[in-house]
Amino acid sequence: MKRAVLVTLIGLLCVGIVSAADVPAKKKIVFIHGPESHGYGGHAYGPAFRMLARMLNAGVPDLECVILSSDKDLSSIDTADAIVLGSDGGALVKSLGDRLEPLMQKGVGLACIHYTVDPTDKKAIDRLIAWIGGSYVQHWSVNPHWEADFKSFPDHPVSRGLKPFKCADEWYYHMKFVDDMKGITPILAAVPPERTRQGKDGPHSGNPEVRKRTGMAEVIGWTYERSNGGRGWGFTGMHEHWNWAQDSFRKSVLNAIVWIAKLEVPKDGVPSKTPTLEEMQADLAKPVPENFNARAIQDKISKMNQ
């Protein structure tokens, strides 16, 4: 009798061990952000990343998110499956370049949001193109504010659940991409208004190459598959924090983060609740300026998903 009980217990323990071993570890997404800038709700990388992390943790059970300020201990990136960077002037691409290089060689995913894609110096630009397929290049690219009209999307996991939408933002465009766009899939592309091509020559305002492309669509959100299997995502919008209330704008980024971590994007895209103005302000966690026009922002938000 005792022998039978012992055999049964050993069997149950073995089943438990096998079951635990069969459970795959969660994918680890590490968000790293620099300081906010450009006024209330501008370039709010930290608040945006906190919001996105909550949504991913709630909507995708197979991942965990870690959020780090760029001035803190960043050792978590060494065990990341994917990294999301947000910083002005591509600061993190430059400061973390030597640390990121071996991770990119291992196939770790990388997403760069808004001003992160403008790292300014040649070494950082070349690295960014190798890692995510494209980069802002001064005197080649431009960074105007305009309303992009996204009418269609390619057949790609990051496109799942996206619906045609319009969004006014500081959409950088005329990026420098890998040769022949090899490995690139343009997810978000739109035709900029002509006025955005006519700025005077300068690092951000205009250049002859941009002016040659009158009436042509520009890629402002793209995926990239590296030859080693690693994945990248470049997204030039996110000047205004309030645009996260646009459902397809938000979903494109959530989908992309899941994709660069090599997880399956849900058939209807990553689910998330549309954040309210109050919720987005709570993430900003800073005093509201006296001149902040909440009514105007609320009116804008209410029309985003119509």
Residue 99, CA distances (Å) to 45, 74, 96, 183, 262 in order: 21, 10, 5, 24, 21
Mean pLDDT, to the nearest integer, of 285-302?
A: 91
- pLDDT tens column, 29-76: 999 998 788 889 888 999 999 999 999 999 998 999 999 998 888 999
Report pLDDT digits (tens) over 173-199: 999 999 999 999 999 999 999 999 999
Q: How far apart are CA 100 and CA 69, in angstroms?
A: 16
Q: Are 122 and 216 in contact (CB under 8 A)?
A: no
Which top CATH class is 24-303? alpha beta
53: Cβ–Cβ under 8 A, 6 or more apart, which residues?
29, 31, 65, 67
Range list of H helices, the chain: 2-22, 45-59, 91-95, 97-106, 122-132, 208-211, 247-260, 277-284, 294-303
In the chain, where the domains are located: 24-303
Please check whether residue 95 is in contact with residue 126, taking contact to mean a CB–CB distance below 8 angstroms: no
Share of the chain above pLDDT 90, in %: 82
Asked if residue 41 lies in contact with residue 284, where contact means CB atoms within 8 angstroms, the answer is yes
Mean pLDDT of 214-230: 98
**pLDDT number for residue 23:** 56
Cα 217 to the center of its chain, rounded Å: 21
Burial profile 49-64: b = 16 or more Cβ within 10 angstroms, e = fewer: bbbbbbbbeebbeebb
Let me know how long the chain is.
306
Lowest mean per-residue pLDDT among 1-15, 210-224, 236-250, 264-278 = 1-15
Tokens of 27: 């994918």
Q: Is the pLDDT of residue 8 over 80?
A: no
The answer on pLDDT for 162 being more than 70 is: yes
* Mean pLDDT, residues 123-142 taken together: 98
